[in-house]
Chains A and B, each alone.
Chain A
Amino acid sequence: MQKKYTHIQSAHCENGVATGLLKYHGMDFMTEPLMFGLGSGIFYFHIPFLQINGGPAITYRGMPGGIFSQAAKLLGVKVNRKKFSNENDAYDYLNKQIQMGNPVGCQVGVFNLPYFPPEYRFHFNAHNIVVYGKENGNYLVSDPVMETVTTLSEADMLKVRFAKGPLAPRGQVYYPENVKPVSNEQLQKAISKAIKRSAFEMIKVPGPIIGVTGINYTARQIRTWRDKLGVRKAGLYLGQIVRMQEEIGTGGGGFRFLYAAFLEQASNYLSEEKLLKVSDDFTRAGDLWRTSAIQMGRIYKGRLDDQKYYNECADMLDEIAEIEKEGFTKLLKMKFDF
């Protein structure tokens, strides 16, 4: 008997694909925030010496693919991943999976994704969709950032699966295997482990660019941009930060609201009131990320042009770093009995 894949909309594509596939395989309790938290998705990394579209490269979450892999490991699930050097093999493999009635995750580039509005089609290669069937020669597609399901022609599918450049998907197809029922105890253990891991990554990794110190690093950079780059370019750089932080796929506030939602759920699973307090910390951080975006917006709209406004943005980022450091320190200190 064939089950039907149920489309779910999520803030972030990888969470959405992972959540949808695990639900399909019987993990009814799975939610996007839980997936994000279990995958230790929250992160901050200002990547020096790397530029995206000529601007700063910042990420607010872990490596693509990492969220699903880490969450799966904690849940005792295996993620079967396949990449291809040959387009024909990739085409055959996907068709075979669909014929077997196995919905799969596909990594795709968005530059040639026809249902994306042209304004959003950059060479970004770490988008994820679920392919769950084929009808009249078109693939049935569940794109988690969309409200409803959509379709892709065979030619378009091949194009987006073989987009080139950084993080090239190379036709990657993946699906969970060996999904077994998870006991409450197992889940509690997984959640506490994942929380510790995130806290460690955000405050214990040495160096000035990874974790909360990376936020201070970005703040220091912003203070220099107006003099170093000129008003126009500095504005473009700030705009790029806002887009990486707030654009579709982040759930707003650079994934911080998503993490706060996870901590709220975690507090339920672990019966731990203190986690709600930390959840509030991250809501505050998320709100402040949004406020900093508004301030940056005033600058790149050309309404404000003075060094002091750049400093104000930087100050906000320093404040965020402080809040997040406090939050993660609390998490690191917390003792869970699992």
Chain B
Amino acid sequence: MKKENLPQDKSALENMTRELCYVKNEDGKYTTGLSTGWNVKTEALNNAWEDINERVKEAALAVKNGVKSPVFYFMELRLMDLHLLKSYTGFWRINIKRHFKPSVFKNLSEKKLNIYAKAFDVSVNELKTFKG
């Protein structure tokens, strides 16, 4: 890639940094250039987020309809899966799955709620009162 062809599109990095890329100068030698972003990958990133937001919305709806507990919603919101939630909480996956049930969630001890709240970076109250 030639230096003058380095894309300078708008991206989510704009308030953080420009990224360093390796490009060719006029003499055909390698040099570095700074790029503000590239639409091709911005759109890939946007698509990924659309997909995530869709999942979060569905999870909120499931909580609202009484199908799932807030644990499930916050897991999706924090881009976690069972494996990751297991490593953050230390709970077995089979237990986490049980905690997805509103009826089980209702009776969770304060201690367990605290562990979840910490993993999700929310207060216990937010966790308990999330209604979808």
Contacts and interface: CB of A to CB of B under 8 A. Distances in A.
Contacts of B67: none
B48 interface: yes
Given A165-B84, A297-B44, A33 B22 contact: yes
Interface in A212-259: 235-236, 238-240, 242-243, 246-248, 251-253, 257-258
Contact of B1 (A145, A253, A300): A253
Interface in B6-34: 12-13, 15-24, 29-30, 32, 34
Contacts of B122: none
A330 B38 CA distance: 33
A336 interface: no
A246 B22 contact: no
A246 B40 contact: yes
Contacts, number: 113
A178 B51 CA distance: 49
Contact of A123 (B20, B40, B79): B79
B47 A119 contact: no
B88 interface: yes
Nearest to A241: B44
Contact of A264 (B23, B30, B51): B30
B30 A11 contact: no
A87 to B, nearest CB: 13
B41 A257 contact: no
A33 B32 CA distance: 11
B43 interface: yes
Given A147-B18, A242-B40, A283 B24 contact: yes
Interface range, A side: 35 or more
B83 interface: yes
B22 A164 contact: no
A236 B48 contact: yes
A283 B5 CA distance: 14
B12 A119 contact: yes
A219 B49 CA distance: 25
Given A33-B30, A242-B40, A293-B40, A248 B19 contact: yes
A246 B38 contact: yes
Interface string B43-65: 11101110100000000000000
B80 interface: yes
B17 A145 contact: yes
B48 A240 contact: yes
Interface of A: 9-11, 33, 53, 111-112, 115-120, 122-123, 145-148, 164-166, 168, 235-236, 238-240, 242-243, 246-248, 251-253, 257-258, 260-261, 264, 279, 283, 286-287, 290, 293-294, 296-297, 300-301
Given A251-B22, A260-B30, A283-B1, 16 more contacts: A11-B19, A11-B21, A53-B48, A122-B79, A145-B20, A146-B16, A164-B84, A164-B87, A165-B87, A166-B83, A235-B47, A239-B48, A243-B41, A252-B22, A264-B30, A283-B24
Interface of B: 1, 12-13, 15-24, 29-30, 32, 34, 38-41, 43-45, 47-49, 51, 79-80, 83-84, 87-88, 121
- Which 3 A-B pairs give the minimum distances between C-beta atoms? A239-B44, A164-B87, A261-B30
